[in-house]
Structure 1
Amino acid sequence: MSVDEESECEVPAQGDLWRDWMKAANRGDETAYRRLLSALAPVIRAMVRRTQGGMSAGAADVEDVVQECLLAIHLKRQTWDEALPLLPWVAAIARNKTIDNLRRRGRRLELPIDGLEEILPAAEAEESLSAPEIDRALAELSKTQREVVRAVSVDGASIRETGSRLSMTEGAVRVALHRGLTALAAKMRELKP
């Protein structure tokens, strides 16, 4: 049985004890609080590994999320309702911190590529648009979409930088970028035979 499986098997039996420790911790018992955090760390680690398992998360990513969870528990422990079980509250924190971590990492996969050059086909040069073609395509967009797409996709600015430069929120920049790129893709499909 792995450490993760052992931790998961102990969860139901330990739930009441952990709840008692959390209640005591909220009343100032530091020993109970240290015991609680020490007991929860491997359980949180197992939750994070299970959630990030298919996302090529390294051990460092998992430990980062575990530490973020423990910090969130510390900062928000007074918000836990003592009438409710502790573990679902902890699991919600772990899920949210895992999602935050995945969002920060983006959708990149980290795979070793050493030795693959012999088996991968040679990359063919992609067709790229010339500067005048890019300008013509961008001219089809609204002014805001054009500025956002140019800043992010052509100039390589970040969402935050673009929002700051154009006096827009990051959410508005993302919406304008998505709509602009969608319109450009539709236009390119029309032009291709």
Structure 2
Amino acid sequence: MTAADETELARLLRAALGGDEKAYAAFLSRVASLVRGFARRRIDHAVDPEDIVQETLLAIHTKRHTWRSDAPVRPWVFAIAKYKIIDAFRRRGRHIEVDIADFAETLAEPERESASPREVERALGRLPPGQRQVVTSISIEGRSIAETAQALGMNETAVRVALHRGLAAIARGQT
């Protein structure tokens, strides 16, 4: 856009502010083209450039009185368009939508083999009796910390410590 184009936009907007409807229609038509190109260069497929154009034109219409007649028009228009683009991205959020089928093979985790009862017994057998009772009660029988503490006559903190130590020993493969 040349300096002559900027001058013409300013002339059209001044005339529009003075009540010239034809000048206002010409101004909006030229601004729509400018904003359309501006928006297309700055947004992705998730936001429609025409939405940005319409929202910008509406904002220009409602805020046209804020333009200073001694100031250039394009920076004022582009500032409004920039904030409309930002608003559109905020409404959309930072979510990116992808088809999960495209990534199914990458995301699929091979199924883990569960330990056989014999392996479980062997691992538990390596633990000291207190840890074995706690791990069995919570991990095998499905009792809560409180239930295990009450059944074994321990406080809950001691049960948590014994459980943690027992599971850590099993994970290391040692006692």
Structure 1 residue ranges (4+ consecutive) displaced by more than 6 angstroms after TM superposition: none
The correspondence of residues 80-91 of structure 1 with structure 2, limited to 5 A, is 80-91=67-78
Paired with 2:109 and 2:59, the residues of 1 have a C-alpha distance of 46
Q: How big is the shift at 1:120?
A: 2.8
Structure 2 CA distance, aligned partners of 1:26 and 1:123? 65
Partner of 1:57: 46
1:3-22 equivalence runs, <5 A: 10=1, 12-22=3-13
> 1:114 offset after TM fit, Å?
7.4
* Runs of 5+ consecutive residues of structure 2 not aligned to the other structure: 112-143, 145-175
- Mapped partners of 2:5, 2:75: distance in 1: 13
User: Structure 1 residue 11: deviation in Å?
Assistant: 5.1
* 2-structure distance, mates of 1:41, 1:25: 16
- Which residue of the partner structure matches residue 79 of structure 1? 66
Q: How many percent identity over aligned positions?
A: 42
- CA–CA distance in structure 1, aligned partners of residues 55 and 85 of structure 2: 9
1:109 aligns with 2:96: yes
Match of 1:67 in 2: 54
Q: Which amino acid aligns with 2:16?
A: A
- Structure having the higher Rg: 2
RMSD: 2.4
Q: Note the C-alpha offset of 1:50.
A: 1.9
* 32 and 124 in structure 1: CA distance in 2 versus 1, 3 angstrom threshold: farther
Note the C-alpha offset of 1:119: 4.2
Q: Deviations over 1:85-130 (max 9, x none)?
A: 001100110011111111111011234x2752564331589xxxxx
Query: Normalising to structure 2: TM-score of the pair?
Result: 0.57
* Deviation per residue, 1:121-150 (Å, 9 max, x gap): 31589xxxxxx9xxxxxxxxxxxxxxxxxx
Between the aligned partners of 1:48 and 1:123, the Cα distance in structure 2 is 41
Cα shift at 1:12:
4.1
Q: Distance between the aligned counterparts of 1:119 and 1:12, measured in 2?
A: 56
Aligned-partner residue type, residue 39 of structure 1? R
Count of matched residue pairs: 112
- Aligned partner of residue 120 in structure 1, secondary structure: helix
CA separation in 2, counterparts of 1:124 and 1:72?
A: 54
Cα distance in 2 for partners of 1:24, 1:102 equals 34
**Contact map agreement 1:21 1:35 (CA 8 A) in 2:** yes
* Cα offsets for 1:145-178 (capped at 9, x unmatched): xxxxxxxxxxxxxxxxxxxxxxxxxxxxxxxxxx
Q: TM-score, normalised by structure 1?
A: 0.52
Q: Helix, strand or coil for the counterpart of 2:87?
A: helix
